Structure 1
Amino acid sequence: MAGKENTLQEFGKYVSQSVLSQLGVSCYILADTYFISKGVGADGLTALNLAIPVFSVMNGCGFMLGIGSGTKYGIMKGTGNEKRGDVLFTSSLCVVTVLAVIFMLIGLLAADPITALVGANAEVYDMTRTYLQVILLFSPMFMINNLLGAMIRNDGNTSLAMTAMLSGCLFNIVFDYIFVFPIGMGLFGAVLATAVAPIISILILLQHFVKKKNQFRLIRVRPDVRLVASAAGLGVPSLVTEVSSGLVIAVFNLLILGLAGNVGVAAYGVVANISIVVIAIYNGIAQGVQPLLSREYGRSQEKNVHRFLGWAMMLTVILAMLIYVGIYWNADVIAMIFNSGRDMDLQRIAVEGLKIYFTACPFVGANILLAIYFAATDQAAPAQMISLLRGLIVIIPLAFIMANVAGLTGVWMTFPLTELVVCVVACGLYKKMKRTYLK
């Protein structure tokens, strides 16, 4: 019994700190959008939206290598193979550095063609180019931060990982305001605050090495590219999620614009902003339990693996019900917070969207958790399948079908229907895996 109590306490610590970290990130994304819209105006917000896909690709590569390497290291720790973890960390850092240099060179040498490629017109061209160039020049900071954070979290130092992430977020929020308003640096100030934030996080994460709490370190070894590729396979779901989110938003914007005009797109902005926070909670639960799943999998403790997964799933479902009830009964209040112009059409569309869109809550939480579970237990293929189905294969064609069949209501229904279909597939994959294990 004591052992179960200890594991429950450990579960609570890992998950709560991870959820706080992810909520911090979601709040800084919202703050970034708010300060740019207020301090720079609609053109600044347009430039930000145009640049986001490029940032998503760069940051997604960092997540793929970081979370993949962290997951692989967690499994290695479980098997007692820490020496191999040194090779993994050193090799991953080398690969991340090479990729980051490539992104830097793109920022230095190809900012103009990239800006044209994302569709920036004359009014927002300079601002979009500025945002892209600064973000790409700081790509080593973003990517190394992703790698260090994931490795340290899987090394058991979740408190430091949380402190580093929240400190970076807080810096970004504070200096967003300082650079944009008192100093008047405009969009450049906003992107500079965003670019410096991971440096703050890295400086805090380095304490893990200074205090000698780490069980992994840099060593002199020839980089093992095959080992990094194997780890990256476990991080592919994070890359898919990061890259596809921008594409899905673009598709939804296009469909809603045709059905309800700019007011409809603004209403979708309300839904999307709330979705950022809700998804952050689910990501926090999944990323919090991942190191525990990987460790117990490495130790061949299948009972503990499914115990941790069961607790995480139970927490996800309970929170999903509470979140949906809260959104349903407070949809008017939530919409009014973002509806500063008191536009009644926007209010009506946003309220309808909130009530339909977030019926997806239990399914999206389960899908995120199961994708992380498969990756955490070294099963890359089902993890990748779930992410691709959620992010691209089901949702995009279904959005066009539902828009034609049921108009704006159909667009709102696309997200819950997608997550329901994928949840059925994910649960099927999980049951198949359990049957294989029992045999």
Structure 2
Amino acid sequence: LPSLLGIAFNSFLRNDNRPKLAMVSTICGTISNIILNYIFIFELGLGIKSAAIATGFGQIVTLLIALPHFILKKGKLSFGNQNLEMNIIKDVFRIGLPSFFAEAAFSVIIFVHNLVLVNIIGEIGISTYAIINYITTNIYLVLLGVTLGAQPLISYNYGAQDSEKMLVFYKLSNRTSIIIGIIFALLCFVFGKEIIAVFTSDKELINISYIAVNINNLAYLFIGKNLTTTMYYQAIEIPKYSNMICAMRSILILPIILVIMAKTFGENGIWISMAISEFIIILISKKVFNINKCTEDAIINLVS
């Protein structure tokens, strides 16, 4: 419960012009989690199960930092009596579904990769992919953070009917994501073996994982744009396009590309498949739904 409330309140904070407070609450919760993990596991010897308790306390810290903003009415959003209206609930589900699918897509991607890896490579492939995920989950979350940071700015200007600024923030988010992806790829290329060595001492696995992670990282040059585009259509209340992109990323394009590349090029085909899939989705999205026209149509619908 504290975890869900913390995520919700941080989202409200970003939309209530307090992104720094949302950042502080998240960082404090994370630091608390790390410190408590060390104390519970190493100092008190409570075992690995205590890590769950530490995580719970970390989420409570995040929640406690965010709560005063709403209790003390420091912004436009605060607690109060509100009747549940079916139309509002429907709109929340309709517009919010893409966020759910964006999160779920990452889990589906991992699941599909594991299925293919078991059949093509075997145990060492699963071990390699586990290491890749340990490393790349961080960059995925950073890119997702960039996307979530741009969302309130785009939503605000959508309400203000300023299409020019909406597109400016969209493009800025895309450029930022590409720069982050390039920096991350370079870090893994230069320090990849040292980073992988944190997770294993097996030299063969380190060498295989180094090649795999650097090929896989090409995908993160494109993932940021797809995440931002998903969020953009959600912010301007055209969730059907957001859902289409999420579906392509998880259950439509990726599985097909993954199987084809795996059978054609073996293990390296598996590692490159996500980059190819994400790039194809960018091309399809650009061709099928023009973002400039969709922005104009959204503004017209808002006015009418």
Q: Same fold, TM exceeding 0.5?
A: yes
For 1:164 and 1:202, the matched residues in 2 are separated by: 7
* Structure 2 residue identity aligned to 1:234: I
Aligned to 1:231: 92
Q: Which residue does 2:31 correspond to in 1? A: 170
Distance 1:188 1:402 in 2: 40
**1:301 is matched with which residue?**
162
Change (3 A) 1:312 1:436: closer
Aligned to 2:259: 400
Q: Which amino acid aligns with 2:102?
A: T
Distance 2:186 2:83 in 1: 54
Mapped partners of 2:258, 2:85: distance in 1: 42
Higher relative contact order (CA 8 A, sep 6+): 1
2:241 counterpart residue number: 382
Q: Does 1:409 align with 2:263?
A: no
In the TM superposition, residue 382 of structure 1 has moved relative to its aligned partner by: 0.8
Mapping for residues 20-99 of structure 1, pairs under 5 Å? none
Report deviation, 1:251: 2.9
Aligned 8 A contact 1:285 1:316 in 2: yes
CA distance in 2, matches of 1:198, 1:347: 34
Q: Deviations over 1:370-408 (max 9, x none)?
A: 111111111111111111211222223432332222221
Q: CA deviation at 1:289?
A: 1.0
Distance 1:198 1:435 in 2: 38
Distance in 1 (alpha carbons) for counterparts of 2:255 and 2:39: 39
Cα distance in structure 2, aligned partners of 1:404 and 1:285? 35
1:213 maps to which residue? 74
Match of 1:373 in 2: 232
Residue type of the alignment partner of 1:263: I
Match of 1:345 among 204, 213, 218: 204
What letter matches 2:146 in structure 1?
I
Q: In structure 2, what is the equivalent of residue 279 of structure 1?
A: 140
Contact 1:237-1:388 at 8 Å conserved across structures: no
Deviation at 1:274, TM superposition (A): 1.8
1:153 to 2, 9, 14: 14
Name the CA distance, whole Å, in 2 between partners of 1:383 and 1:402. Answer: 26
Aligned to 2:188: 327
Rate the CA distance shift 1:380–1:435 in 2: closer, same or farther, 3 A. closer
Alignment of 1:95-110 (within 5 A): none
Residue deviations 1:139-170 (CA, integer Å, cap 9, x gap): x2222222211111100011111111111111
The separation in 2 between residues aligned to 1:281 and 1:338, in whole angstroms, is 21
The offset of 1:430, in angstroms, is 4.9
**Using the alignment, how far apart are the partners of 1:152 and 1:432 within structure 2?**
27
CA drift of 1:435 comes to 6.5
Contact kept, 8 Å, 1:179 with 1:193, in 2: the verdict is: yes
Q: Deviations over 1:163-203 (max 9, x none)?
A: 11111111111112222232233232111122232221111
3-state SS of the aligned residue for 1:223?
coil
Shift of 1:313: 1.8
- Post-superposition shift, 1:296? 0.5
- SS of 2:17's partner is coil
Q: Per the alignment, in what secondary structure is the counterpart of residue 43 of structure 2?
A: coil
Assess if the C-alpha contact under 8 Å between 1:263 and 1:345 holds in 2: no
User: Structure 1 residues 243-252 or 287-296, which shifts more?
Assistant: 243-252
Quote the RMSD (CA, aligned, Å).
Answer: 2.2
Q: How much does 1:260 deviate?
A: 3.1
CA distance in 1, matches of 2:211, 2:69: 47
Mark the CA change 1:314 to 1:242 in structure 2 (over 3 Å): closer, same or farther: closer
Residues 436 and 152 of structure 1, relative CA distance in 2, 3 Å threshold: closer
Secondary structure of 1:396's aligned partner? helix
5+ residue gaps, structure 2: none
- 1:306 deviates by 1.1
Displacement, 1:427? Answer: 2.4
Please list, as runs of the form range in 1=range in 2, the aligned pairs for 1:251-262 lying within 5 A after superposition: 251-262=112-123
* Alignment partner, residue 200 of structure 1: 61
How far residue 210 of structure 1 moved from its aligned partner, in angstroms, is: 4.1
Moved more, 252-261 or 264-273: 252-261
TM-score, normalised via structure 2 length: 0.89
Residue in 2 aligned with 1:358?
A: 217
Displacement of 1:335 in angstroms is 2.8
Paired residue secondary structure (1:184): coil
